[in-house]
């Protein structure tokens, strides 16, 4: 499960890095504003201290300029890493 988490976090980090490189004044606060969650939530996710829900993954992926396949991959990785069994 940890490797799935690393992969979706890597996707978020790459997106953040792309935005930093195109706009040097871009911040984590701006990234959070653009994606929806609070800056503290984004920071916790990027530092592997908080997982994402399926709902958050869908919301975030819809706000990023990714191809449909990348959006689906992101959501699948989040579900694989942080999803909870319906039996629990």
pLDDT tens-digit profile of 45-78? 999 999 999 999 999 999 999 999 999 999 999 9
Please state the pTM of the whole predicted model: 0.85
Architecture of domain 2-82: Orthogonal Bundle (1.10)
Q: Report the pLDDT averaged over residues 31-48.
A: 95
85: pLDDT strictly greater than 60: no
- Mean pLDDT across the chain: 90
Sign of the CA dihedral with 55 first, then 56, 58, and 63 last:
positive
Residues 6+ apart with CB under 8 A from 35: 42, 59, 60, 63, 64
* Chain mean position to CA 53: 10
* Statement: residue 1 has pLDDT above 60: no
What is 46-73 written as a DSSP string? HTTSS---HHHHHHHHHHS---HHHHHH
The domain ranges of the chain are: 2-82
Per-residue model confidence (pLDDT) at position 88? 44
């Amino acid at each position: 499960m940890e490797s799935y988490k690393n992969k979706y976090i890597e996707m978020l980090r790459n997106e953040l890095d792309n935005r930093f490189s195109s706009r040097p004044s871009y911040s984590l606060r701006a990234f959070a504003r653009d994606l929806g969650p609070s800056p503290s939530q984004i920071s916790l996710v990027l530092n592997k201290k908080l997982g994402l829900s399926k709902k958050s993954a869908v919301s975030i992926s819809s706000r990023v300029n990714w191809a449909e396949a990348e959006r689906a991959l992101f959501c699948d990785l989040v579900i694989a890493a942080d999803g909870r069994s319906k039996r629990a």
